[in-house]
Amino acid sequence: MHKKSMSELDRLSSEAFKDIEKTPLVLILDNVRSALNVGSAFRTADAFALDTIALCGISAQPPHREILKTALGAEQSVDWLYFAETVDAVAHYKAKDFYICSVEQADGSVLLQDFVWPDKGVCIIFGNEVDGISDEVLKISDACIEIPQFGTKHSLNISVSMGIVIWELFRKLKLGK
């Protein structure tokens, strides 16, 4: 076994990435305070060829030094939009017939492994690192997805949560498992 070289990875250019068919999954960041977490969102969105990222409220926007540090260029390949209010981002994607899912620990949430992909594109909302998703946004979501946790903290860093949720939804949609 050997580690693959950069040439063996056969990576797409940012221009070629723009032309490939995207996974019908949109990230909505609801007032994410850490630009490093925003950069991580870009990098993860690039890895799974997600449709778009919607940056809302206080979420940093490219170009931002800390986004660039963790995104490693993904801010150039992944399309993004900015909304002053997260509810406006939700309304924008509802008008485009996306299914809106908040990722939060809430009454009536569906465990991630039990989520069934609807017959349409999906938006997943990740909230502020301290306060989570706003009550206003939770109320207008179509569903709430919860990552099962078994330790004492019942809390994950947003970048870890994004990786877990995006991989599971991608796996269900693209790999049918």
Cα–Cα distance, 136 to 34 (Å, whole number):
21
Tell me the CATH number at 50: 3.40.1280.10
Digit-coded pLDDT (tens) for 125-151? 999 999 999 999 999 999 999 999 999
Can the peptide bond before residue 62 be classed as cis, meaning omega within 30 degrees of 0? Answer: no
Is 12 in contact with 49 (CB distance < 8 Å)? no
Cα–Cα distance, 123 to 98 (Å, whole number):
6
Digit-coded pLDDT (tens) for 9-32? 888 888 888 899 999 999 999 999
Instruction: Give the structural domain span for 40.
Output: 21-146+157-175
The answer to the question of residue 105 being in a domain is: yes
The answer to the question of residue 7 being in a domain is: no
The answer to the question of residue 3 being in a domain is: no
The answer to the question of residue 111 being in a domain is: yes
**Exposure of 30 by Cβ count < 10 A (0-12 exposed, 13-18 middle, 19+ buried)?**
buried
Digit-coded pLDDT (tens) for 77-110? 999 999 999 999 999 999 999 999 999 999 999 9
Q: How many domains does the chain have?
A: 1
3-state secondary structure the chain: CCCCCHHHHCCCCHHHHHHCCCEEEEEEEECCCCHHHHHHHHHHHHHCCEEEEEEECCCCCCCCHHHHHHHCCHHHHCCEEEECCHHHHHHHHHHCCCEEEEECCCCCCEEHHHCCCCCCCEEEEEEECCCECCHHHHHCCCEEEECCCCCCCCCCCHHHHHHHHHHHHHHHHHHCC
The answer to the question of residue 152 being in a domain is: no
Q: Which residue has 């778009």 as its token pair?
A: 52
Digit-coded pLDDT (tens) for 21-61? 999 999 999 999 999 999 999 999 999 999 999 999 999 99
